[in-house]
């Protein structure tokens, strides 16, 4: 004879919207990226452009392929974005002299100077989120682990 579950101990509804990891991630992503918008607009940057600039500030000149890998985006999406950054005077797009098929993206002096203004962005975001560096690092580590798990084939 099967035992019945007492009414006060109900199983969670695994299809409830508030139980979905994808929903929490989507809302968190939109909300946090939205915090960046008013900070980036005076610099003439969108959030995806900011990610490209971060990669260039960290690594210097990059091929478009390297850039797509670093920011986890495809060339078709990044090409117009990089073109707009070039039109803004932040980057240069040149053919790689060693491989004419490859496009190299490099910072202009104006793009390098923008980094100084961008140094205020992380502390501003942490303040808006009311998080200290340790909390931000924990969230980042959890999300990085989640990305790894989502992109690794399960055994």
pLDDT higher than 80, residue 83: yes
Higher pLDDT, 110 or 4: 110
d(C-alpha 111, C-alpha 122), whole Å: 18
pLDDT mean over 66-72: 94
Whether 133 is in a domain gets the answer: no
Q: What is the CATH number of the domain that holds 50?
A: 1.10.10.10
pLDDT tens digits, 95-104: 877 777 788 9
- Tell me, yes or no, whether 29 lies in a domain: no
Within a domain: 92:
yes
Q: Phi/psi class of residue 53: alpha, beta or left (left: φ > 0; alpha: ψ in -120 to 50)?
A: alpha
* Per-residue pLDDT at 6: 59
Is 67 domain-assigned?
Answer: yes
With beta carbons less than 8 A apart as the criterion, state whether 33 and 48 touch: no
- Domains contained in the chain, number: 1
CA distances from residue 146 to 7, 143, 154 in whole angstroms, order as listed: 34, 5, 13
Residue 96, in any domain of the structure: yes
Question: Has residue 70 been placed in a domain?
Answer: yes
- Residue 74 to residues 8, 67, 77, 97: CA-CA distances in angstroms? 50, 9, 6, 23
Domain that holds residue 45: 37-116
Question: Is the residue at 145 inside a domain?
Answer: no
CA-nearest of 149, 155, 125, 120 to 25 is 149
Inside any domain, residue 28: no
């Amino acid at each position: 004879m099967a035992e019945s579950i007492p009414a006060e101990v109900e199983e969670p509804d695994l299809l409830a919207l508030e139980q979905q990891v994808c929903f929490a991630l989507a809302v968190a992503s939109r909300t946090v990226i939205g915090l960046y918008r008013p900070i980036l607009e005076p610099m003439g940057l969108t959030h995806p452009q900011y990610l490209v600039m971060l990669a260039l500030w960290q690594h210097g000149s990059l091929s478009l392929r390297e850039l797509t890998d670093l920011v986890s985006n495809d060339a078709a999406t990044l090409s117009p974005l990089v073109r707009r950054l070039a039109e803004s005077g932040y980057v240069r797009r040149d053919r790689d002299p060693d491989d004419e098929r490859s496009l190299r993206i490099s910072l202009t002096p104006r793009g390098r100077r923008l980094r100084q203004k961008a140094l205020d962005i992380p502390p501003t975001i942490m303040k808006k989120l009311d998080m200290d560096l340790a909390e931000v690092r924990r969230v980042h580590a959890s999300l990085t682990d989640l990305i790894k798990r989502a992109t690794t084939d399960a055994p």
